[in-house]
Amino acid sequence: MSEQSAVFVRILACIAHSPGAERLARQAIGLAQACGAELTFLHVGSDRKPLESLIASVIAESSLEKTPELLDRVGRADRIILHEARRIGADLILAGALGVDPMLRELWGSTSRRLARRFTKSVWLTVHRGLPQEMARRIVAVAQLDAASSAMVRDVAELARRLRCEQMHIVYEYDPYLIGVTEATGTQGADSEEYERMADAAARLGLSNFLEGFDFSGVQVKAEPLAGKNLVEASQYARFVKADLVVIAAPIRRMGFLDRFFRHPAETVMLDMPCSVLFHRVRSAERRG
């Protein structure tokens, strides 16, 4: 598989001494196997030997071709994670978001948000507590009908195939008053119920047109427009369908104070994660293309 055709090529998985360490290791190894990606583990802290043994036992049960390296560093977690991710050329950071673990409690708070804001490639924050092979049974991909969403949907469809996803939901959250339903389209004098119906029809048409041309072979897909904004409705939808993973097209730039102040949609998801969240960013080669 070429790097340009792969979903992820190099994965950096953050692991710590915690009850969830084995589960995260299995998720990371399973994801790397599914994607054919090179995997590196990073432990921010001391005493790496227990983690070495744990990772070795998980690898022994897998068919991973290349043994992952375990890096150990001491210092501020977010800075070390970002530095190592850039150094090895990772296009995905996988980090747990479980509150029971000292390092991951920090990830759930400030560190996880720093990773998602500051890393200019993809970040997967996992809160999955079930079996590793069920980390993405039901995926909700939030599309905005733009180029970034197009790249995201393509990658998620491939990821869904590789992880044997049961169902992939593609939702388009739209503001009914910004959808392009105007007096010119015949809504003059329409009551609010009729207007909302017409806005929904316009959104469905836009979503249908957007999804033309994608390869969804082997994936059960359901597309749904949602009236709302800032991913509030999308988060509620993810809870309703019991999603394991929500995927959003994150900005390729670093996110800063203004994104937090004006509540970028990614901030909404970070504040109230309905399940594991993948902040998808287009890879550099695709941006140049």
Query: Can you tell me whether residue 183 is helix, strand or coil?
Result: helix
**Distance (Å, rounded) from C-alpha 182 to C-alpha 185?**
5
Place of tokens 């299995």: 26
Query: Which amino acid is it at 101?
Result: D
pLDDT for 288: 39
Tokens of 166: 């049961």
**Is 67's pLDDT higher than 60?**
yes
**Distance (Å, rounded) from C-alpha 276 to C-alpha 246?**
6
**Distance (Å, rounded) from C-alpha 12 to C-alpha 277?**
16
Q: Is 242 left (phi over 0), alpha (psi -120 to 50) or beta?
A: left
Domains of the chain: 10-133 (3.40.50.620), 136-288 (3.40.50.620)
Q: What are phi and psi of 254, to 5 degrees?
A: -70, 140
User: How confident is the model over 229-238, as a mean pLDDT?
Assistant: 91
Query: Which amino acid is it at 261?
Result: F
Average pLDDT score, the chain? 83
Within 8 A by CB and 6+ apart from 228, the residues are 173, 174, 175, 234
**pTM recorded for the entire structure:** 0.86
**Distance (Å, rounded) from C-alpha 4 to C-alpha 113?**
28
Place of tokens 């998720």: 27
pLDDT for 222: 98
